[in-house]
Amino acid sequence: MKPSQTLRLTSTSVALIGASLWLLGGCSSSDTQDGAAATSGGAGPTSTATTGPGSGTGGAGGSAGGAGGMSAGGGGSGGIETGQLDCSAPSGAIPPLKLTEVASNLSSPVLAKSSRTDPSRLYIVERGGAIKILKDGAVLPTAFLDIGGKIKAGGEQGLLGLAFHPDYENNGRFFVYYSAQNWDMTVAEYKRSADPDVAEPDEVGIVISRPDDESNHNGGSIEFSPMDGFLYIFWGDGGGAGDQHGTIGNGQDLGSTLGKVLRIDVKTLPYAIPAGNMTGDGVAPEIWDYGVRNPFRSSFDGCTADLYIGDVGQGAREEVDVEPAGMGQNNYGWRLVEGTQCYESGCDPGNGNVLPVVDYDHGQGQAIIGGYVYRGSAIPALRGTYFYGDNGSGHVWSFSWSAGQITGQTEQTEVLGSNGLSISSFGQDAKGEVYLVDLSGSVYRIDAQ
């Protein structure tokens, strides 16, 4: 951020920033480290990894193996189901960008996405429990699904995640992640009704649930890999501050599913454990990766199956981790490290920990929001560009990642006019276009000016 830039905050957005920082587990009233409001004086995001995940001790991966292949979507190389995404190389110069509002008057939206093969519907998740459909330029008056009566909503709790089965167009299966009324972190399966704009109101069944230690740090993303077809679940460390539960914290405790990326096979229920997950005495078999704090928004590149994890920090650093397709069993370091720096005294950040490809300090924001890799056709020069932002400051950045290197790191805040937005998520439709979700009630598409 340039020193001359200042944050353009309205009174409404200031209030929302306080509420949404609590939603994302950034520097909140429960955290023990200093959490002053974002300012314009800090350094921008820093590229920190040169070889990418899997390069350090303990970073070697199990292989996804291509198991559990999928029946929906297009071709793609290496068994990756690319659907209607444009996976060709970028071309031309990146034009000036803008945010185009596509939906408004929503209630605390926290996610926007499409099923893999249907570009006509954008599903918008509201924290209170409703999923709305944007279709033909308007939000439909009847919710696709509303489970507000069975969830605990408010702060960091609520309806947080949505994932469509890779064969959704044929089988109608989809999955949601929510905070149950008893605080249990819950992933459940639902099914589309005979009307494609409305889901069956009753859940098919609970896929996985776990009692939460605190109300914060729930993670929130659930995603199907376009390569192996398995469901990945991104759970936070259980909350409080400093991963305070347990002698080594949940993030480093392989007997706990908290502070982890989980990977399960939901071909049938109850779920199965895929080959390639972590193994060993006392290791929870669902674990794919460990050592994350609050991976609220994570996603796969739909053309490469590389995994991008936006992990909200404690009191100093925010980070983006990138995992090459199929290379799991990584330790992302929390609570030993925060970003690239020691959180526990005497640690060696690079010893056994996979460091982020980008991290930034709290002069730029306080709660990172992971995004998506652009794979659309409207802006050819953007293909392969990853967008991410910060909930506390409204900053947006982008970069491209390949073979452990990032290029083209750019701040997009000023050109997009995102300062002051309470970014709760990015989104992506079936054609690879990328969206930005504002907790105050709007969804925007990233367009060329």
pLDDT single digits (tens) 311-355: 999 999 999 999 999 999 999 999 999 999 999 998 999 999 999
pLDDT single digits (tens) 245-259: 888 999 999 999 999
Q: Taking Cα atoms as reference points, which of 301, 327, 308 lies closest to residue 432?
A: 301
Q: Taking Cα atoms as reference points, which of 158, 171, 77 lies closest to residue 116?
A: 171
Q: What is the DSSP string of 98-148?
A: EEEEEE-S-SSEEEEE--TT-TTEEEEEETTSEEEEEETTEE-SS-SEE-G
366 in Cβ contact with 35 (< 8 Å): yes
Domain boundaries, the chain: 11-448
Mean pLDDT, range 120-133, rounded to an integer:
98
Per residue in 255-277, is it b (16+ CB within 10 Å) or e — as a string?
ebbbbbbbbbbbeeeebeebebb
Range 11-448: architecture per CATH:
6 Propeller (2.120)
Phi/psi of residue 125, nearest 5 degrees: -95, 130
187 in Cβ contact with 211 (< 8 Å): no
Token pair 């924290």: residue? 127
Under the banding of pLDDT at 50, 70 and 90, the label for residue 14 is very low
The pLDDT assigned to 134 comes to 98
Grouping H, G, I as helix, E, B as strand and the rest as coil, residue 336 is coil
Q: Between these two residues, 155 and 305, which has the higher pLDDT value?
A: 305
The pTM for the full model equals 0.88
